[in-house]
Amino acid sequence: MRLVLVVGAATPPGRLNKAVEHLAASLAGRAETELVSLAARRLEICDGRTLEQYNPATRETVAAIVAADGVVFAAPVYRASFPGVLKNLLDLLPVEALRDKPVGIVAMGGSPHHYLGVDSHLRMVLAWFGALALPNSVYLTNRDFAEGKLASADAAADLAALGDAVATLATAVAGKQLGPVPLAARFT
């Protein structure tokens, strides 16, 4: 089983990246994971070209998500939603990339007050794809870290549970079409 873990932030890897690395480590022996940091892997801006016309980094990132059995999107809260670099990646994906595919959400904000910023907006986009978004996400704050490292046992357990749920659901739905074709796929 192959899971792609996307850190949807434009800033240099930091605490959110450390959290996703922890999630990947919790899946060791159960799933092959690929970490995609949108800060390190600069994708071209989606402008309507066919995928073949984009640079190799863009094409490889899209191909990794298409081939994955499940995906975790991690993003900081940015202006009450998720960052544009993550939206750009989602705009580059064909609808089939996430259709009937388990997806987990990890969000990080400065305080607990913004816990639905990424979650609610990202779920709307995932519904467009027909993705199987897990019902619960993980929300992290500054308090979950010490000296740049994940320090909260509760946060670590939540990340492991999210990874386990994505892997379990990916195994259960492998190769199955669940429900009707997403409306977005009917008009392409």
How does residue 115 score in pLDDT terms, banded at 50, 70 and 90? Answer: confident
Q: Give residue 99's domain range.
A: 2-186
pLDDT at 177: 86
User: What's the mean pLDDT in 11-20?
Assistant: 93
Name the one residue in this structure whose structure tokens are 């939603």: 81
pLDDT at 178: 85
3-state secondary structure 69-112: CEEEEEEECECCECCHHHHHHHHHCCHHHCCCCEEEEEEECCCH
Q: Tell me the CATH number at 33.
A: 3.40.50.360
What's the total number of domains in the chain? Answer: 1
- pTM across the whole model: 0.95
Give the span between the Cα atoms of 12 and 40, in whole angstroms: 7
User: What's the mean pLDDT in 151-164?
Assistant: 98
Q: Quick count: other Cβ atoms within 10 Å of Cβ 84?
A: 15
pLDDT at 23: 98
Give the span between the Cα atoms of 39 and 83, in whole angstroms: 11
pLDDT at 187 over 80: no
Instruction: Provide φ and ψ at 116, rounded to 5°.
Output: -100, 0
pLDDT at 188 over 70: no
User: What's the mean pLDDT in 39-49?
Assistant: 95
pLDDT at 127: 95
64-77 residue pLDDT tens: 999 999 999 999 99
